[in-house]
Amino acid sequence: MNKKLYVLSGSSGVGKGTVLKGFLSKNPNFMLSISCTTRKPREGEIDGVNYFFLSQDDFKKCIDENKFLEWTTFAGNFYGTKKKYIKQCLEEGKDIILEIDTVGALNVKKQMPEAVLIFIAPPSFEELEQRLRGRHTEDEETIQKRLHEVRKELARGEKFDYKIVNDDLNITVSTLENVIRGEMQDA
């Protein structure tokens, strides 16, 4: 059976990480791509687990060496997905999930039209802002930069294969499971 690449995306604070954690705890056979970033680790984040935390120089070197499937800048930092791990998982017959921003997701689709793009939408802008603030991981300037992106992200989300509104967390995780189960049957 062909294995697929799934891309989960949506605005910062919408709950992507939380939804994915719920999904992966119930579906441990799925591989999660670990991205590279130049942003500083948040408290509790571990290099090689949450991200590969790189300096700007090291990140730019990877760009020059064509190591990324896609990369982008988001709210003042670089983020990118390395090709190698993705290729290896697909060759080994493993399903893989990327959790990346909406620009990166559409760039992946251009290169791999078979990739399945899933947009996680907020119930409302106000709820999104509350979640982002309630996480207490960003300063005000960063929160403003992230909120500034929301309108464009919602517009890009219209081009995705699926949209799931993350209102009740358990329902969101079940809906994601149903979407992926349906795609696996098509593979």
- The one of ligand ADP, ligand 5GP, none whose footprint includes residue 74, by CB under 5 to 8 A per kind, is ligand 5GP
- Go through the chain and tell me how many residues it has: 187
Q: Which of 5, 31, 22, 4 is nearest to 166 (CA)?
A: 22
- Using Cβ positions, the residue closest to ligand 5GP within the complex turns out to be 104
Q: How many chain residues touch ligand ADP (CB under 6 A)?
A: 14
Phi/psi region, residue 11 (left: phi>0; alpha: psi -120 to 50; beta: rest), is beta
Q: What tokens were used for 92?
A: 């080994």
- Asked if residue 35 binds ligand 5GP (CB under 6 A), the reply is yes
156 lies in the binding site for ligand ADP (CB under 6 A): no
Of 54-62, 74-82, 118-126, 159-167, the segment contacting ligand 5GP by CB under 6 A is: 74-82
Dihedral-angle region of residue 104 (phi above 0 means left; psi in -120 to 50 means alpha; beta otherwise): alpha
34 phi/psi in degrees, rounded to 5: -95, 120
Under rule CB under 6 A, residue 95 binds ligand 5GP: no
Cβ closest to ligand ADP, residue 3 vs residue 135: 135
* Site for ligand ADP contains 131 (CB under 6 A): yes
Please give the C-alpha separations between residue 51 and each of 6, 100, 113, 130, 150, in angstroms, as whole numbers. 18, 12, 25, 25, 23
Contact (CB, 8 A) for 7 and 97: yes
Q: Which does 101 bind (CB under 5 to 8 A by kind): ligand ADP, ligand 5GP, none?
A: ligand 5GP
CB of 100 to ligand ADP, least distance (A): 11
Q: Show the DSSP H helices in the chain as ranges.
A: 16-26, 56-64, 83-91, 102-111, 125-134, 140-148, 150-157, 169-186
Among 54, 100, 116, 150, binds ligand 5GP (CB under 6 A): 100
The footprint of ligand 5GP (CB under 6 A) covers 12, 16, 35, 39, 70, 72, 74, 79-81, 99-101, 103-104
The footprint of ligand ADP (CB under 6 A) covers 10, 12-18, 131, 134-135, 166, 169, 172
